[in-house]
Structure formats: structure tokens, C-alpha cells
Amino acid sequence: MKKIVFAFILLCWTQVCLSQKITVKAHSVVGYGKHQDFAKKAFVALEQVLNSDEFKDSIIAMKAEKNQGYTSEQLYNIIMQAKEKKVPKDSAATDGIVDLWVRMLEVNGRDAKWKDNCENPSIFGNQTLGIDGAGDGFMAICPSALDYWASIDDVAALVGHYGHEYMHVLGFDHHRLFSSQRWREQTFVYKVGYLVRDLVKKMSAD
């Protein structure tokens, strides 16, 4: 009996090791207040999604604008290599680990220019707020969006935000002169954000 249990544990352990490709590490979560635990759930869900076969298959099948000319296989490898291009000052990131620094936008302070944007209800379905404007290596979020998602326990939406912003951290953008929202939603950054959101939703429904 003992032998069987031991073999079972060993099998599980090796299975976990084999299927685990990447780790998500949240280095700091600034200004999240009572939403710290909500964010923790999102980090766990993001890691689960990134390690899933469905994520891999979906990235490989994805057609997107602004992919910097990479093939979809290369794009998948770029994500899994996790070489962050932008990290906060005096911080260090490790390749192969999704290193995250997140913070709440201070709309009544240093991030006042985001205030109007943050108060627009359209952000609730949107993940675009953050590093584009802040550029400090922290993935920043509107308080209104975080409060709203936490109030309805929409972990998937927060994961979508992290997925979107993390593609910026890896060096991708969604800029084009006279671009429309419709066009932006066809870009790699947007599509990855939506993909991780939808996969979290799907996983929690299973």
C-alpha cells in the first residue's frame, strides 16, 4: 500500500513538474487596499492559463495586427520566455518568470491625467489602462475598474487586464495613426488580453 501511495505521489509530482512551464511572480501590489486577495486570485489564474494547452493552441492559431512580424510559434515562445523589457527602477526581472509589479492609479494625485478616462464606464469592458500612460514598469489600473471587478468577483476581467498590460511589458503596442477601437482590438496586445480573460472564464465554468 505504502509503495502505491509513494508511486502515486511521485507520478503526480512529476506530472506537475512536466506540465508547469512558467511561474507568475507578483513582486509588489501597490495601492490595491482591500483588493489584495482578489489580485492574488488573478495571479494564480493567469499562471494556470499561461500553462494551459489551450493558451498555447490559441496563440498558435491567432491572427493579429502589430505582431512585429513574428510567427505565431515565435510569439508563443516570446511569452513563455518572459523577458520583460520594462521593469520598475531598481528592480530586477528573471527570464522564464512572469515578473509583475502592479499598482492602482492615483487619480487624485500623480495620475490625475487618467481621472476622466478612469471615470468613463466603458473601461469596465476594457483593459487598456496602464503602462502606455504610466510607463514606469508597473501595470497600473483604474480604481473604478478594480472596485467594479472585485464587487462582482470577476477575476477573469482582472486577468485580462494583466495579460494586456504584460504584452506591453514584453514590448508590444497597439499604436497606429488614426486607429479605431475596432482596429485596436485586432492587435496582438488586445487579443492576448481577451484570450486570457476568456480562458479564465472557461476554466472557472468547467
Rg (CA), the chain: 18
CB of 128 to Zn ion, least distance (A): 4
Question: Total binding residues for Zn ion by CB under 5 A?
Answer: 2
SS3 of 69, please?
A: coil
Alpha carbon distance 96, 83 (integer Å): 7
| Contact call for residue 187 and Zn ion (CB under 5 A) | no
Whose CA is closest to 76, among 57, 48, 96, 95? 57
Nearer to Zn ion, 132 or 198 (CB): 132
Question: Pattern of binders to Zn ion over 111-150, x per CB under 5 A?
Answer: -----------------x---x------------------
CB of 129 to Zn ion, least distance (A): 8
- Burial (CB count <10 Å: 0-12, 13-18, 19+), residue 182: exposed
Q: Which is nearer to Zn ion, 58 or 128 (CB)?
A: 128
**69 to 108: interface string for Zn ion, x by CB under 5 A:** ----------------------------------------
Per-residue burial over 90-117, b if 16 or more Cβ lie within 10 Å, else e, is: eeebeeeebbbbbbbbebeeebeebbeb
Distance CA(119)–CA(25), nearest Å, equals 30
Nearer to Zn ion, 45 or 123 (CB): 123
Minimum CB–partner distance for residue 21 and Zn ion (Å): 25
Which residues contribute to the site for Zn ion (CB under 5 A)?
A: 128, 132
